[in-house]
Amino acid sequence: MKLTTKMVLMVAAVSMAACTNADRFGADDGAGAFDPNASANAGIIAGSASDPTSTAYFQQAVGDRVLFEVDQSSLTAGGRTTLDGQATWLLTNADYTAIVEGHADEQGTREYNIALGNRRADAARSYLLSKGVPSLRLQIVSYGKERPIEICSEESCYSKNRRAVTVLAGGLTG
């Protein structure tokens, strides 16, 4: 977590500097000239997964989801680690709000799965709150079994569907 924070600060510092530092990031060898269309940090494109303030970075580098065991809404150790990263990111990037979506696999009845998805979303949200994320920035919703990611009828798919996904809203680079 500390490393991430350092990275964020370093990048922030660099982005303040003039683009004459472009060579340090290995992009554009020889060009050197100021290109107003390129990001000040050549090699870090605003909004992409290399931009640590972006949604894409949150989704891919931090990890936007935690998974659950069958019928369970308790967080796994790996889930808590992912949420630690999410909390840090959210505290650093304070102009984002988020909604935590809870989901269930198809092995159950419709209403119960909405309630179970709700438990999962709430478990993730409560953990983020416990790490200091203000409650006003986090909502929850449950989709029950209605929005599977994987559609095979096997545990390899079910396990990916039993999830709580933190979906960002707001921010400058969408």
Partner 1 sequence: MMVRIFTALIAMMMTATLAVTSAGAQQGPLRIEITEGVIEPLPFATPNFVAENGNSAEMGAQLARVVAADLQGTGLFREIPASAYISNISDFGAAIQYPDWKAINAQALVTGAVTVSGNNLSVKFRLYDIFSGAELGDGLQFQGTTEGWRRMAHKVADAVYSRITGETGYFDSRVVFVSETGPKNKRKKRLAVMDYDGAGVKYLTDSSALVLAPRFSPTGDRVLYTSYETGFPRIYVLDVGSVQRRVLENTQGSMSFAPRFAPNGQTVVYSQATGSNTDIYTIDVSSGRSKRLTSAPSIETAPSFSPDGNRIVFESDRSGAQQLYIMPAGGGEAQRISFGQGRYGTPVWSPRGDLIAFTKQSKGRFHIGVMRVDGSEERLLTASFFDEGPTWSPNGRVIMFHRETQGASSRSTLYSVDITGRNLRPVRTPEGGSDPSWSPLQK
Q: Are 67 and 79 in contact (CB under 8 A)?
A: yes
Among 118, 141, 137, 119, which residue's Cα sits nearest to residue 129?
A: 137
Q: Name which position in 15, 141, 159, 171 contacts partner 1 (CB under 8 A).
A: 141
Give the residue with the Cβ less far from partner 1, 53 or 73: 73
Contacts of residue 73, Cβ cutoff 8 Å, sequence gap at least 6? 116, 119, 120, 122, 123
Count interface residues toward partner 1 (CB under 8 A). Answer: 29
139: left (phi over 0), alpha (psi -120 to 50) or beta: beta
Q: Name which position in 22, 42, 123, 133 contacts partner 1 (CB under 8 A).
A: 123
Give the residue with the Cβ less far from partner 1, 20 or 74: 74
Structure tokens at 17: 């500097």
Give the residue with the Cβ less far from partner 1, 52 or 102: 102
Q: Name which position in 88, 142, 164, 166 contacts partner 1 (CB under 8 A).
A: 142
Note the residue count of the chain. Answer: 174
Site for partner 1 in 23-62 (CB under 8 A): none
Between CA 14 and CA 29 the distance in angstroms is: 18
Give the residue with the Cβ less far from partner 1, 37 or 109: 109
Question: What does the binding site for partner 1 look like in residue numbers (CB under 8 A)?
Answer: 71, 73, 106-112, 114-116, 118-119, 122-123, 126, 139, 141-143, 146-153
